[in-house]
Structure 1
Amino acid sequence: MKELLLADSYSSRGDRPMARGYAIVDKIPSVLRARSGMLMAAASRLGPLLVFVLWTMVTVVLPGSDEGGWQPSRLGTAAAVTEEEHCTVERRAHLTYPEFMQHYAFLKPVILQGLTDNSKFRALCSRENLLASFGDNVVRLSTANTYSYQKVDLPFQEYVEQLLHPQDPTSLGNDTLYFFGDNNFTEWAPLFQHYSPPPFRLLGTTPAYSFGIAGAGSGVPFHWHGPGFSEVIYGRKRWFLYPPEKTPEFHPNKTTLAWLQEIYPSLAPSARPLECTIQAGEALYFPDRWWHATLNLDTSVFISTFLG
């Protein structure tokens, strides 16, 4: 049976020890629950408002409490992957449009921070909210190899509840299906209208959205297309990028996870791509015709804005 993944379109600057943190955090929920029980017993005598405040203080530290119901990566899974040792893509907070045009628009990728507030859109993209609003919608998936042809239609709820899981490292790209660019914009308009894309445009282009959800270890192998932005709403997405004149070494029918495990370690430093992990709330700009591959480190929710 083919593995189905709703994910990256062809289109969470967390601390690096995050993955190791889970090994520690997973050991403490029972302690927190015991402590919360004592707090709640004491607070119940002081009124419901204090009960709510104390409960909020306890639950905010539980793992996954701010992941919108989407499963973060866990150590020990077959698809467990980590962030790069060194991010080689510039991060810019509050970049101006003249700076964007002069230094990045036609030259190199950049990670944008602090340009938009998508907190409302993020809330709408929680697992519970998306299933309630779009669970019956039929979504179209395409194969996750460099040259995609096969397509499969299925209800969004079926994908989320039954098929969203970490990537099998042995799966080929043509056995892994992604949702990329086939959004029904009429059906998804109630969601997309709340998204604020990066405010930068290129002359003669029109923005178009592509929305996706993908499991840990999934991703799209190297490909290229026109310029655009990709923002992570939940999770983390690792990117690998080469300029147009530098064709990467890769197999078009192998997944990014397989490439990372089999080819990446043998690359000379001069042959390695630009790379960085995009965190929730950040957006990556990729210029026209730049080769890029993606790898989701957690269950990730993301949206791309293509400048076509």
Structure 2
Amino acid sequence: MAAAARLLPLLLLPLGWVRPGACTDPPGGGWLAGTVPEEPRCTVERADASLTYSLFLQRFAFSRPVILGGVTDNSAFRALCTREKLLAAFGPFPVRLSTANTYSYRKVDVPFQEYVEHLLKPQDPARLGSGSGSGVPFHWHGPGFSEVIFGRKRWFLYPPNQTPHFHPNETTLAWLQHTYPTLPPAQRPLECTLRPGEVLYFPDRWWHATLNLDTSVFISTFLG
């Protein structure tokens, strides 16, 4: 089962305006670092705060993804998204777990504390999980932004006219280990690893899959 990490934004959005106090939290917010190797190659274009709105519309909004760096200050979220503080604030609250898979619809509600303390563990390639090595298999929807708060998150992206080769019930980790090495260079996706403070934008109907290299906290915003 993969935790619906997309539910965390629903829990955290009301906290976005809270002023953080002095940060004495452990590195990484107390979340576990992973053992999944990071691919240093990045084929997604990067931009910084000098990117204007008009240039964003012209170059990226409708045509290709971009990683934005230095455009946001997520220190308030970082101060509130440590393991200790999230457990203290939301431990008894239910979160909905699912396979995060287009063809699977089973949902399970568990307390957030149970999820963090008992279900966050490294991914088994044969089963959808919720810790390091977990992720969401290939799917598409409308355009959106995804910002990493803690941990590292690897992305794989294909344009709408290039359907990736994958099995709908296969984990991203299994796809990376078994299918990815067989792909000719021309058939490989755009890819990159996002680190805390970086934001990925992807246009409408772009195929994408994710792989959490660490236990990660991130916020996704989907545009209508």
Bucket of the pairwise TM-score, normalised by the shorter protein: 0.7 to 0.9
Which residue number corresponds to residue 133 of structure 1? 89
TM, length-normalised to structure 2 = 0.88
Where does 1:171-190 land on structure 2 (aligned, <5 Å)?
Answer: 171=127, 173=128, 176=129
The code of the aligned residue for 2:32 comes to: Q
TM, length-normalised to structure 1 = 0.64
1:90 paired to 2:90: no
Superposed structure 1 runs of 4+ greater than 2 Å apart: 3-9, 144-148
Given that residues 4 and 164 in structure 1 are in contact (C-alpha distance below 8 angstroms), is that contact kept between their aligned partners in structure 2?
no
For residue 121 of structure 1, the aligned residue among 69, 77, 93 is 77
Distance between the aligned counterparts of 1:4 and 1:108, measured in 2? 28
1:240 paired to 2:195: no
Which residue number corresponds to residue 13 of structure 2? none
Where does 1:66-215 land on structure 2 (aligned, <5 Å)?
Answer: 66-73=27-34, 80-94=35-49, 95-171=51-127, 173=128, 176=129, 214-215=130-131
Distance between the aligned counterparts of 2:112 and 2:76, measured in 1? 21
Given that residues 2 and 134 in structure 2 are in contact (C-alpha distance below 8 angstroms), is that contact kept between their aligned partners in structure 1?
no
The code of the aligned residue for 1:307 comes to: L
**SS of match in other structure, 2:177:** helix
1:275 paired to 2:176: no
Q: Figure out how many residues of one structure are paired with residues of the other and give that number.
A: 207
**How far did residue 146 of structure 1 move?**
3.0
The code of the aligned residue for 1:86 comes to: R
1:217 paired to 2:178: no
Given that residues 224 and 292 in structure 1 are in contact (C-alpha distance below 8 angstroms), is that contact kept between their aligned partners in structure 2?
yes
Report the CA distance shift for 1:116/1:215 in structure 2 as closer, same or farther (over 3 A).
Answer: same
Given that residues 2 and 100 in structure 2 are in contact (C-alpha distance below 8 angstroms), is that contact kept between their aligned partners in structure 1?
no
Which residue number corresponds to residue 293 of structure 1? 209
The code of the aligned residue for 1:256 comes to: T
Distance between the aligned counterparts of 2:164 and 2:2, measured in 1? 26
Give the fraction of aligned pairs with identical amino acids, expressed as a percent: 70
Distance between the aligned counterparts of 2:170 and 2:84, measured in 1? 33
For residue 175 of structure 2, the aligned residue among 259, 282, 289 is 259
Report the CA distance shift for 1:4/1:218 in structure 2 as closer, same or farther (over 3 A).
Answer: closer
**How far did residue 65 of structure 1 move?**
3.6
Distance between the aligned counterparts of 1:258 and 1:167, measured in 2? 10
**How far did residue 220 of structure 1 move?**
0.6
What's the CA shift string for 1:95-124, capped at 9, x where partnerless? 221111110000000001111111011110
**How far did residue 136 of structure 1 move?**
0.9
Larger radius of gyration: 1
Distance between the aligned counterparts of 1:232 and 1:148, measured in 2? 26
Distance between the aligned counterparts of 1:288 and 1:158, measured in 2? 35
Distance between the aligned counterparts of 2:207 and 2:45, measured in 1? 17
RMSD: 1.7
Distance between the aligned counterparts of 2:141 and 2:65, measured in 1? 14
**SS of match in other structure, 1:232:** strand
User: Is there any run of 5+ residues in structure 1 with no aligned partner, and where?
Assistant: 10-59, 74-79, 177-213
User: Is there any run of 5+ residues in structure 2 with no aligned partner, and where?
Assistant: 8-23
The code of the aligned residue for 2:3 comes to: L
The code of the aligned residue for 1:68 comes to: G
What's the CA shift string for 1:112-164, capped at 9, x where partnerless? 11111110111100011111111111111121323231100010011001111
Given that residues 160 and 207 in structure 2 are in contact (C-alpha distance below 8 angstroms), is that contact kept between their aligned partners in structure 1?
yes
**How far did residue 4 of structure 1 move?**
5.2
Which residue number corresponds to residue 226 of structure 1? 142
The code of the aligned residue for 1:66 comes to: P
